[in-house]
């Protein structure tokens, strides 16, 4: 078969860590499981995958070794078992999520990190005792090289499914489509269990991104500022589990949202300057 006709990325379903980030204070990140809702999301993703299948398709699943990703993979497979499609599953440690350190720190330290990362930029900011998104990029580059070697085999399945995490998925696409750092900074996170579809052009053998990824810059200024504050407040509320009062919450959320908003605007200015603003990313192709 060679290069698969479809490369599909999917972020794991909702996890206990997405619902309550304080679990990261006592459960290792790689052991955080899905919530019941996360299992439901993954089962639904399996049904959607079934709708993409052709009669002669076969699938290669690559999954992050994190528990929530492996559970998502199993639930997705439940949705396609009745099709009789042939599939293989490979566990790939290079697909793990960005390392945020070991157990989560105090509320004061998490406040500092949130604001500092927003000011510094999400791609290059290295979490204390963890990784930056740039470190994840290096892992993606190594993984891509392995994929290209596998694609050289005529027996490689017609569909490649990558079950992974939000940051990893965005970094993988950044590497594949050669997006800039500024464009990465502009991307919003990927929703749980939403399929990202890359389709091969039979003539050029290049892949086209068929899924629109939400960006911060497509929002009006007031709308973006409001959503940034809401997202930051939600993260802080989950991270601190009520340890912050409303005034503290508002102060930190406003500071982090303002820093991120300013960073997005700087990124847009840079992209315009170098004329690499990929507004129509759904038409962007890569020859690899």
Q: Is residue 81, in this structure, part of any structural domain at all?
A: yes
Element (H, E) at 266: helix 246-273
- Is 168 inside a domain boundary? yes
Nearest to 69 by CA among 136, 168, 175: 168
Tell me the C-alpha distance between 69 and 140, whole Å.
17
Q: Is residue 196 part of a domain?
A: yes
Binding residues for substrate: 11-18, 68, 107
Please name every residue paired with 200 in a beta bridge, in sequence order, or none if there are none: 207
256: confidence class by pLDDT, cuts 50, 70, 90: low
* Higher pLDDT, residue 39 or 214: 39
Residue 119: its pLDDT value, please? 81
Residue count of the chain, please give it: 288
> What per-residue confidence (pLDDT) applies to 22?
76
Is residue 144 situated within a structural domain?
Answer: yes
CA distance 92 to 63: 6
| Residue-level pLDDT at 238 | 44
DSSP string, 47-106: HHHHHH--TT-EEEEEE-SSHHHHHHHHHHHHTTGGGT-EEEEEE-GGGPPPP--SS---
Q: Is the dihedral of CA 95, 237, 188, 53 positive or negative?
A: positive
Question: Can you give the residue range of the structural domain that contains 189?
Answer: 6-106+122-216+280-286
> What's the average model confidence in pLDDT over 108-127?
83
Instruction: Let me know if residue 269 belongs to a domain.
Output: no
Q: What is the pLDDT of residue 190?
A: 92
Q: Where are the beta strands (DSSP E) in the chain?
A: 6-11, 58-63, 86-91, 159-164, 195-200, 207-209, 285-286
pLDDT 10s digits, 120-155: 888 999 988 899 999 999 999 999 999 999 999 989
What count of other Cβ atoms lies within 10 Å of the Cβ of residue 264?
20
User: What average pLDDT score do residues 85-112 get?
Assistant: 87
Spatial CB neighbours of 269, under 8 Å, sequence gap ≥ 6: none
- Residues forming the active site: 12, 97
d(CA 55, CA 274): 45
What distance in Å separates the CA atoms of residue 18 and residue 94, rounded to the nearest whole number? 21
Does a structural domain hold residue 40?
A: yes
First to last CA, the chain: 16
Residue 250 forms part of a structural domain: no
Q: Is the pLDDT of residue 269 over 80?
A: no
CATH assignment at residue 128? 3.40.50.1240
- Mean pLDDT value of segment 251-258: 62
267 domain residue, yes or no: no
Q: Number of folded domains in the chain?
A: 1
Instruction: Give the pLDDT confidence of 191-236 residue by residue, as tens digits.
Output: 999 999 999 999 998 999 999 998 877 776 666 666 665 665 555 5
């Amino acid at each position: 078969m060679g290069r698969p006709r479809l490369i599909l990325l999917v972020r794991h379903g909702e996890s206990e860590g997405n619902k309550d980030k304080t679990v990261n204070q006592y459960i290792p990140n790689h052991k955080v499981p899905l919530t019941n809702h996360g299992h439901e999301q993954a089962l639904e993703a399996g049904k959607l995958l079934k709708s993409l299948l052709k009669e002669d398709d076969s699938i290669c699943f690559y999954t992050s070794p994190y528990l929530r990703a492996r559970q998502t993979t199993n639930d997705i497979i439940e949705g396609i078992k009745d099709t009789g499609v042939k599939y293989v599953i490979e566990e790939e440690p290079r697909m793990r999520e960005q390392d945020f350190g070991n157990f989560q720190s105090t509320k004061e330290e998490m406040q500092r990190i949130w604001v500092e990362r927003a000011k510094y930029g999400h791609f290059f900011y290295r979490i204390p005792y963890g990784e930056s998104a740039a470190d994840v990029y290096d892992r993606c580059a190594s993984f891509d090289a392995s994929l290209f070697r596998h694609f050289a085999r005529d027996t490689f399945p017609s569909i490649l499914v990558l079950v992974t995490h939000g940051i990893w998925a965005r970094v993988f696409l950044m590497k594949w489509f050669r997006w800039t750092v500024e464009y990465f900074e502009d991307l919003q996170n990927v929703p749980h269990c939403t399929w990202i579809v890359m389709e091969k052009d039979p003539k050029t053998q290049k892949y086209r991104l068929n899924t629109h990824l939400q960006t911060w810059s497509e929002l009006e200024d007031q709308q973006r500022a409001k959503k940034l504050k809401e997202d930051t407040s939600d993260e802080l509320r989950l991270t601190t589990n009520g340890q912050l009062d409303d005034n503290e919450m508002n102060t930190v959320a406003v500071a982090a949202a303002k820093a991120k908003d300013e960073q997005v605007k700087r990124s847009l200015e840079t992209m315009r300057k170098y004329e690499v603003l990929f507004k129509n990313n759904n038409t962007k192709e890569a020859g690899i």
